[in-house]
Structure formats: structure tokens, C-alpha cells
Amino acid sequence: MNKLWEFLRSRARSFVYAFHGWGYVLRTQQNAWIHAVISLVVFALGLWLGLRPQEWAILILTMAMVWAAEIVNTAIEAVVDLASPFRHPLAKVGKDVGAAAVLIAALASVVIGLLILGPPLYARVLAWLR
């Protein structure tokens, strides 16, 4: 029983550490706040439009992809800053490539969001205007 209890405690600590990391990203990265606001808007729109479970799954995976890219990018930036406190061309490459990953994820999420939310949102707006 003792080993099971220690295992459960270590898993709980892992969640605490992960939430600390997410909190760090939210406190230090301006783009994370943009992701947070857009995530909330997409969630609210999805509720309002009554999306199907499959559409929710795609949107949630898409939002998770953007958040994961932002979090990994923040980790890359921190490690590069630690390893190379002075300006170095390879440090710049590491940071730029991490930022590119976030950009690709964000652009893909915009397209996916428009494909899923666009048609029902357009129909609602047209219904309002009539």
C-alpha cells in the first residue's frame, strides 16, 4: 500500500509542476494571453453555435496544439537563455524556429476555426439581419 501511495503522490506532484509551468507561461508570455482570450472566445462561440462532438474534438485538439507549441517555445527560450546568456547566431536560430512552430500552429488553428465556426456563425448572422 505504501508504494501505491507514493506512486499516487508523485503523479499528483507531476500535475502540480505542470500547472506551475503553465502559470509561468501565462505570467511571462504576452502571446499566451492572446491564446487564452481566443481560446475562451472559441469555446463560447462553440457553445452558442451548438457544435457537434466531432467539431468540439477538432477545435480542442487545435487549441491544444497551439498551447503546446507556445509552451514548448517558452521552454526552448528559457533553455537557450540559460545555455547562451550572450547573443549567439545559433541561439537566435533556436528561438526563431520555436517561434515559427507557434506561428504554424496558430495559422492552422485560424483556418480550422474558420472552417468549423464560419458556416454556422455566418448562418446566425444572416438570420439576425433578416
Give the whole-angstrom CA distance, residue 71 versus residue 31.
Answer: 11
Q: Is 10 inside a domain boundary?
A: no
> What's the pLDDT tens digit per position in 10-22?
999 999 999 999 9
> What's the pLDDT tens digit per position in 47-77?
999 999 999 999 999 999 999 999 999 999 9
Q: Is 8 inside a domain boundary?
A: no
Tell me which residue range forms the domain holding 67: 30-129
Q: Is 13 inside a domain boundary?
A: no
Catalytic position from the list 6, 55, 70, 77 = 70
Q: Is 7 inside a domain boundary?
A: no
Q: Return the higher-pLDDT residue of 76 and 7.
A: 76
DSSP line for 80-91: HHHH--S--HHH
Tell me whether residue 70 is one of the annotated catalytic residues. yes
pLDDT of the residue at 2: 86
Provide the whole-model pTM.
0.88
Q: How many domains does the chain have?
A: 1
Give the whole-angstrom CA distance, residue 58 versus residue 48.
Answer: 17
CATH code of 72's domain: 1.10.287.3610
